[in-house]
Structure 1
């Protein structure tokens, strides 16, 4: 027995109409789940979009779009980092609107983003962090071809205390999930 068909998704550049969704993640408590860090500047998305359309050389965002409905389900992000000052890598993240979670969109979007970054940059490594209690995201990262590397102790201040994180990575030579 097979489950419901997973909607086809694609990644695309941000357009001005997406800024309303970005603002929601900044001002609606709980919308972003465990990553809620308090209210943020709702004008920031417009300023960033005007600067570079969220396609900067060291960080950016792409919208996760459900193809059949041509609707934004959320976004993926990437930020450059380095180890020892020489080995550049990408740290990725994802935020999906609640109605699109649990439908197989997140793992596919993260796999697509890693493939995109490996195709268009010389980085050897793409990594992602998540919360120990976010089991769904841990499964999604593994499905997207990422491997668990370990616990990062007290790496994030959230909800009034320091909390651990889980680190995952995918290397250029690791197989793409498909």
Structure 2
């Protein structure tokens, strides 16, 4: 399918595509490291603003076990945020990907997030043998729950005390999409 070149229609006559990180994107990554609240509920304190450039220099954020791709909005080629992927293994050959997304506030609520996450799943299923892709979210993040469901994910359950945030341990929701699950493109209606 080649998700890195595929544009998928979204609201407002915009289209969404994924592409590799470029040097111009590093400023956005620095902002996520240093601007409280920009990343929403996932803010976990200040981070080294130089780390994105070091990672980019090492492998362009395209590691074998983890990485990031830019969510680009067409036709203006704006970087709306990024999607991430991290490998995991339950046992033996049961490897999976854990994905995430961070959109800049101006791009939220416009149908971009679910499309970007669905494109990332298509990309990972096409280029790796993983059977499972999973994503976690916060119980209070209803918008992300809807986004994951539109992207073809199913709620598996509550993961108790899975995250330390804002001074306390908090539960999370775990979603998954399997290689054989129906494509969200067949039922999107948008």
Fold-level match, TM-score > 0.5? Answer: yes
Unaligned runs of 5+ in 2: 1-10, 186-190
Residue aligning to 1:160? 167
- 1:144 — aligned with what? 151
Query: Which residue does 1:92 correspond to in 2?
Result: 99
Measure, in 1, the Cα distance between the counterparts of 2:109 and 2:73.
14
Is residue 6–residue 103 contact of structure 1 (8 Å, CA) maintained in 2?
A: no
Q: CA deviation at 1:85?
A: 4.1
Query: The residue matched to 2:124 in structure 1 has which SS?
Result: helix
SS of 1:19's equivalent in the other structure is helix
Residue equivalent to 2:85? 78
1:39-50 → structure 2 map (5 Å cutoff): 39-50=46-57
CA, structure 1 residues 22+170, in 2 after alignment: closer, same or farther (shift >3 Å)? same
Structure 1 position 67 matched with structure 2 position 109: no
Report the secondary structure of 1:142's partner residue. Answer: helix
Q: What value does the CA root-mean-square deviation take over the aligned residues?
A: 1.1
The TM-score with structure 1 as length reference comes to: 0.97
Q: Residues of 1 paired with 2:125 and 2:142: CA distance?
A: 26
Runs of 4+ in 1 over 6 A off after TM superposition: none
1:58 maps to which residue?
65
Output one character per residue of 1:36-57: Cα deviation in whole Å (capped at 9) or x when no partner.
Answer: 0000000000000000000000
1:42 is paired with a residue whose SS is coil
Q: Distance in 2 between matches of 1:176 and 1:150?
A: 21
Q: Is the 8 A contact 1:130 1:166 kept in 2?
A: yes
Specify the alignment match of 2:125 in structure 1. Answer: 118
SS of the residue aligned with 2:184? coil
Against the structure 1 CA distance between its residues 50 and 87, is the aligned structure 2 distance closer, same or farther, given a 3 Å change threshold? same
Between the two proteins, the alignment pairs up a number of residues equal to: 176
**Cα distance in 1 between the residues matched to 2:105 and 2:17:** 18
Deviations for 1:62-110, whole angstroms, at most 9, x for unmatched residues? Answer: 0000011111000000000010243100000000000000000000000
Cα distance between partner residues in 2 of 1:61 and 1:137: 18
